């Protein structure tokens, strides 16, 4: 829901950093993998309840996620880069609640499992529509210069990161936040399924 506004805010600084990165030998895919590796480090930080460290690593992961796209737009977007980016993003999104589950299984396990379950719904509906949109050459005027069609919803990337920040700032309330955000994710899944079906039910010529 908020991604379209967040993109406008971060576009200029990311493009500036992308210009600097374009002068280095690093590739967009290398930045993607490096960002994911940083994100993976959040897992032991969460397990040992080092929540401020985990928060820093989560934010760094998201910064790298923006930088790889900025560099890719300068050098040319590729299918393999888009595939790598979205796959590692979804793995990272599941990693964070899993870390909170391991940190406190008694209090967090059920709520964390519910949130990961909800992420499966948002992720699968997102990717399934992107595949069909690609086959039909459906353009998305809101999220241009993306390797995949971005089907929006109530809970998108911006809301997910805000949720992760709340987790780290209020770890004692992880379960409550996870239940609420997971429920909102199911609203997103339902609206995506409905909108996707309505869009795709008309046969192509």
- The Cβ of residue 198 has, within 10 Å, a number of other Cβ atoms equal to 9
Residue pair 72/138 in contact (Cβ under 8 Å)? The answer is no
Q: Identify the CA nearest to 146 among candidates 70, 94, 198.
A: 70
pTM above 0.85, yes or no: yes
Q: Identify the CA nearest to 205 among candidates 136, 111, 121.
A: 136
Cα–Cα distances (Å) from 112 to 16, 48, 173, in that order, read 37, 17, 12
- Please state, in angstroms and rounded to a whole number, the distance separating the CA atoms of residues 193 and 189: 6
The structural domains of the chain, with segments of one domain joined by +, span 3-200
Q: Which fold has domain 3-200?
A: 1.20.120
User: What pLDDT digit, counting tens, does each position of 27-54 carry?
Assistant: 999 999 999 999 999 999 999 999 999 9
Full pLDDT tens readout for the chain, 205 residues: 676 777 777 778 877 888 888 889 899 999 999 999 999 999 999 999 999 999 999 999 999 999 988 898 888 888 898 899 999 999 999 999 999 999 999 999 999 999 999 999 999 998 988 888 878 777 765 555 565 666 777 888 899 999 999 999 999 999 999 999 999 999 999 999 998 888 888 776 5
Residue pair 70/31 in contact (Cβ under 8 Å)? The answer is no
């Amino acid at each position: 829901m908020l991604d379209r506004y967040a993109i406008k805010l971060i576009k200029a600084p990311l493009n500036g950093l992308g210009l600097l990165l374009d002068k280095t030998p690093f590739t967009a895919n290398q930045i993607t993998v490096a960002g994911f590796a940083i994100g993976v480090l959040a897992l032991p930080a969460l397990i040992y309840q080092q929540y401020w460290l985990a928060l820093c690593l989560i934010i760094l992961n998201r910064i790298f996620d923006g930088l790889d796209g900025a560099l890719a737009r300068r050098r040319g977007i590729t299918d393999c880069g888009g595939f790598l980016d979205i796959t590692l993003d979804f793995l990272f999104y599941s990693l964070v609640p899993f870390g909170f589950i391991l940190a406190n299984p008694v209090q967090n396990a059920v709520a964390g499992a519910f949130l990961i379950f909800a992420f499966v719904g948002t992720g699968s509906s997102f990717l399934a529509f992107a595949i069909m949109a690609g086959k039909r050459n459906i353009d998305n005027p809101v999220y241009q210069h993306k390797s995949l069609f971005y089907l929006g919803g109530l809970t998108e990337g911006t809301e997910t990161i805000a949720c992760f920040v709340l987790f780290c700032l209020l770890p004692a309330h992880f379960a409550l936040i996870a239940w609420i955000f997971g429920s909102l994710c199911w609203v997103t899944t339902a609206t995506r399924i409905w909108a996707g079906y309505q869009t795709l039910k008309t046969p192509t010529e």
